[in-house]
Structure 1
């Protein structure tokens, strides 16, 4: 890779701007979650439609993840990020003028395209801007993701509790921050030194035979974790509020923040431990805490429910982070894009499909009735990842490579 001349190198503040952009992307994804109950009450639509709105985001985000990497390699990080922020702003504008649930679907799709591109291209740009900080960029990114979600969820829920334009002000505040970042991106120098020299091409998702056992283990564990996350971001806030008999969206925001902050802490603490061990501990713990969550929710105690979901969030962080690191440590360099494309296709499928099924069940019966069923099935899926590792994934006598925190981000950025 060619080096940039001193006059063309990104400005010192570029790294911080990119981290804030990554945080903003995840914050934007989290703003509607505490508000879904208000939208449902306002327009009187069933729980299934809430999960459709959420799934629309995931469906288009995976498209952005697959194509934004190659586009940024060919045309530069900056142009792709500018378009991504414009898509964020377009989605926020639709939220501001929403007159029915159809508007929410469109808004989430626009945001999904923008956020998917920001995740991939923003992570790659961090490494371009400051390759010497590669070992810390992964940790910083994980913190930015989860803190962005937690702040947005709590801030939105707190505002909703006051009743002061909760369906307007959160999106307006987010849009103002996005506009500031858009201006900064306009004056930021292109960080990718090889922009324009790389041929454009989208990798065909595939998995080399020699890592298929490892891939199956990783994608089952990550898929189970994302299935839990999908329900957490769509229906679990209202389920928790119903279980604790707390009106309004504030407690739902606390639930989301508890999950994401616990996940961030778990990922930071586990970053130096072997990825396979972290993934196995995460899968097993998530299964246990999902089953324990059935009893926790049944108590109707807000403190018990909050602790339960925080434990689930910590286990989610271990399961997903460990699974991703376990896979990326052994992908042949020339197949990284193809393997990561397949990984994210299946992971987003795991995010979307169970969420929709839970939405159908909640519509036909009730959210509190379907949640224990989902919890048991999620636990079975987590334990199946452990079984797969025992049967297919273990390579006797081979020490595991310990991956630095940045490697997960680097491999994700190379999905294109």
Structure 2
């Protein structure tokens, strides 16, 4: 695949439209991780173990994957808005359920609906950003979409942690604020001037595992090879991070838990801006290396009972996810026709989120049986192997030319 050109971020009306179009992506992703620092509150009031906590987290990824099986296809066929408007509305419903949750079942349902909203936004929202960018600013569109995702994912837990400690209603206020953000996102979606959908593939199945245009298959494969270990590592921090802080490091402050997730995703966003001018091959290899370093540092933090090392592990995990995501989206946007773009984005995310659901869930129940240190160490070893394998795939498939 040809080496993509560098991004020139210019303050033009077109560039501003691209960044504005990324706002709904960010607003929905604020909800994706907002519950993270609140799990300790719900665990006290409702009562559940680390295994049940990761099962609640997995409900979110289950909803996300269900949406990815439909949203990309529907978005490419009927348009971005018919997918994005219901997605934002579902996110608002999820906020109401979170704010009133009194059982594990209600939490799981709220997480499931949030996952559907995020899955639809990943497919249609990111494709909408690329549509508005046009051919000349596709690299900028990939950066805007990816950074909006990680900034939203990081802002949610930080806001939740601060508001739950400083305001009454520790599990309510953040979701009231998020409803306001989502309402503004809904307005932004309605006002988007998007091209008409290409209905040439109308005979194809509506619900299926996302398929990738032949021109983009290598791009998706390379993205998954690095993005999957990276997002699985960050999913561990989001799902079991509060348990690690509470049980091993004796820290129950919700601002600390929220800040840990925030710095992780801040690193994911920052590294994308820093890496935007490098070839995709170099970005992907650096992402895999960052995930390996993250999991190594995680093991050290557990055995040393060090919050500082845990924070370093979170930052490195965020960098690994960010570079895997940026590399994958950049390569996809450069190689996949616009009419198949949302489905290709969905395929990348399916490949990433399946292990992000299964492996932390497994680690949670293994931790219930063997202890948090043993379960987390086993998870870290699996992630190191996966990240090294991903680096090997990238190196082998891009040996002759950078993607």
CA contact (8 A) 1:238 1:252 kept: no
CA contact (8 A) 2:264 2:314 kept: yes
Supply the distance in 1 between the matched residues of 2:313 and 2:31 (Cα, whole angstroms): 25
| Residue number among 384, 387, 390 corresponding to 1:382 in the alignment | 387
Following superposition of structure 1 onto structure 2, how do residues 5-404 of structure 1 map, counting pairs within 5 Å?
Answer: 15=18, 17-131=20-134, 132-162=136-166, 164-186=168-190, 188=191, 190-194=193-197, 199=202, 201=204, 202=206, 205=210, 218-323=223-328, 325=330, 342-389=347-394, 392-395=396-399, 398-401=400-403
**How many residues get paired?**
388
* CA deviation map 1:247-282 (0-9, x unaligned): 232211111111101111112211221222222222
CA contact (8 A) 1:204 1:338 kept: no
Task: After superposing the two structures, state which structure 1 stretch, 330-339 or 83-92, moved more.
Answer: 330-339
CA contact (8 A) 2:87 2:116 kept: yes
TM-superposed deviation, 1:388:
4.0
Task: After superposing the two structures, state which structure 1 stretch, 216-225 or 337-346, moved more.
Answer: 337-346
Supply the distance in 1 between the matched residues of 2:17 and 2:91 (Cα, whole angstroms): 20
TM-superposed deviation, 1:17:
4.6
Supply the distance in 1 between the matched residues of 2:341 and 2:194 (Cα, whole angstroms): 22
What is the RMSD of the two structures over their aligned residues, measured on CA atoms?
A: 3.2
Supply the distance in 2 between the matched residues of 1:214 and 1:123 (Cα, whole angstroms): 16
Q: 1:120 to 1:300 in 2, by over 3 A?
A: same
Supply the distance in 1 between the matched residues of 2:75 and 2:222 (Cα, whole angstroms): 30
* CA deviation map 1:156-180 (0-9, x unaligned): 1112223621111111111122223
CA contact (8 A) 1:47 1:363 kept: yes
TM-superposed deviation, 1:53:
1.2
Q: 1:34 to 1:319 in 2, by over 3 A?
A: same
CA contact (8 A) 1:43 1:101 kept: yes
Supply the distance in 2 between the matched residues of 1:120 and 1:205 (Cα, whole angstroms): 10
Q: 1:90 to 1:11 in 2, by over 3 A?
A: farther
Supply the distance in 2 between the matched residues of 1:381 and 1:58 (Cα, whole angstroms): 20
Supply the distance in 2 between the matched residues of 1:71 and 1:357 (Cα, whole angstroms): 32
CA contact (8 A) 1:238 1:249 kept: no
Q: 1:70 to 1:178 in 2, by over 3 A?
A: same
Supply the distance in 1 between the matched residues of 2:53 and 2:359 (Cα, whole angstroms): 13
CA contact (8 A) 1:96 1:167 kept: yes
Structure having the higher Rg: 1
**Unaligned regions of 5+ residues in structure 1, if any?**
1-9, 402-416
CA contact (8 A) 1:34 1:253 kept: yes
Supply the distance in 2 between the matched residues of 1:308 and 1:68 (Cα, whole angstroms): 33
CA contact (8 A) 1:219 1:343 kept: yes
Supply the distance in 2 between the matched residues of 1:106 and 1:233 (Cα, whole angstroms): 18
Q: 1:179 to 1:317 in 2, by over 3 A?
A: closer
TM-superposed deviation, 1:296:
2.8
**Unaligned regions of 5+ residues in structure 2, if any?**
1-12
